[in-house]
Amino acid sequence: MPKPHILQMGGLPEWDETPLNDTYEVHRYFDAPDKASFLAQVGPKIQAIATRGDLGASAEVIAACPMLKIISVYGVGYDAVDLAACAKGGIVVTNTPDVLTDDCADLALGMWLALSRGIVAAEAWARAGDWARKGGFPLQHRACGKRAGVLGLGRIGMAVAQRLEGFGMQISYTTRTPRAEAGSWQYIADAKELAAQSDVLFVTLAATPETHHIVDADVLRALGPDGLLINISRAQNIDERALLDALEQGRLRGAALDVFEGEPAPDPRFSRLSNVLLQPHHASGTFETRRAMGQLLRENLAAHFAGRPLLTQVNA
Ligand code: 8YV
């Protein structure tokens, strides 16, 4: 049986690359020096795309693959996949939910604690000998027992909120409609109102056209000069320029960010700030989770080619 042809948009760990290469005729888009001529050459053969959450698949790539039937995303977020182009071409999209929820929530909590308590600067203080030279590290603000706003109470937002309960936080959340599972957590319909009632705002929303810049200058103003912002979702949920202005002008105490508009090269304005904690988009980056994500990506492809129901399809 000839192997199906798939287009791979970005690098994956060796433990995924090997089985993919064993099963499929893999065409490595990310290695091609001239993407346009590569697509023109291999596009007509492509039956499936294997991509990552951060890379997705553009309308241009999809249009170059007339035989394409499935896009399997390594990641829960599929905002970088052109869903309109998929709908037009009858292409199904799958993602990797659930398997990454706990690690993403863990990193969100870790980022919040590190930012609140100045853990990164304190480590440098101890390491560089400032402790002996200058004395104790400057006092920081308490993290626990404050008001937390969770913007987006999906799987990851829920896991973040559950962890925050252990820190004695008063939890409020914003979603389109109140969630029965939220128990005693306070539902606040509006993002600006949520920010006004929060000391720390966790952004855990899936990115859609409706959530674009949902955290704008007004929301940041409502969070206020004592507020902290944590983003483990997508950069486009935040107006990054408004955030940088607020941070530079001391209108926000701090931000911890795992995602950036220009990633993998964040705006250099971020690096000049001492009130930020910057992370390289690795909320799902553990061996355990990445292995499970790769397996789910491959299982969705295998189900498609065997004519079985897909495990985690996201579009109709
Ligand atoms: C990954 C992600 O970092 O799940 C997502 O939506 O963005 C992440 O899990 C990414 O897909 C791996 O490159």
Instruction: Please write the tens of the pLDDT for every residue from 153-206.
Output: 999 999 999 999 999 999 999 999 999 999 999 999 999 999 999 999 999 999
pLDDT tens digits along 251-286 = 999 999 999 999 999 999 999 999 999 999 999 999
Looking from the CA of residue 52, the nearest atom of ligand 1 is 11
pLDDT for position 1: 82
Q: How far is the CA of 284 from the centre of ligand 1 (A)?
A: 6
pLDDT at residue 316 greater than cutoff 90: no
- Evaluate whether 5-99+288-306 and 101-278 have a shared fold: yes
What are 273's two structure tokens?
């700030």
Question: Average pLDDT of 25-48?
Answer: 98
Residue 223 predicted with pLDDT over 90: yes
Is 281 a known active-site residue?
Answer: yes
Per-residue pLDDT tens over the stretch 109-146: 999 999 999 999 999 999 999 999 999 999 999 999 99
179 is catalytic: no
Q: What is the structure's pLDDT at 51?
A: 98
Q: What is the DSSP string of 145-185?
A: TSEEEEE--SHHHHHHHHHHHTTT-EEEEE-SS--GGGTTS
77 CB within 6 A, ligand 1: yes
Ligand 1, atom 9: nearest CA belongs to which residue? Answer: 75
Per-residue pLDDT, 75: 98
- Token pair belonging to 306: 């065997």
Domain extents in the chain: 5-99+288-306, 101-278
Kindly state the tokens that stand for 22.
């064993």
Architecture of the domain spanning 5-99+288-306: 3-Layer(aba) Sandwich (3.40)
d(CA 157, CA 185): 12
Asked whether residue 91 carries a pLDDT value surpassing 90, the answer given is: yes
* Mean pLDDT for the chain overall: 98
Report the CATH architecture of 101-278: 3-Layer(aba) Sandwich (3.40)
pTM of structure: 0.96
Measured in Å, residue 77 CA sits from the centre of ligand 1 at 7
Q: How confident is the model at residue 303 (pLDDT cuts 50, 70, 90)?
A: very high
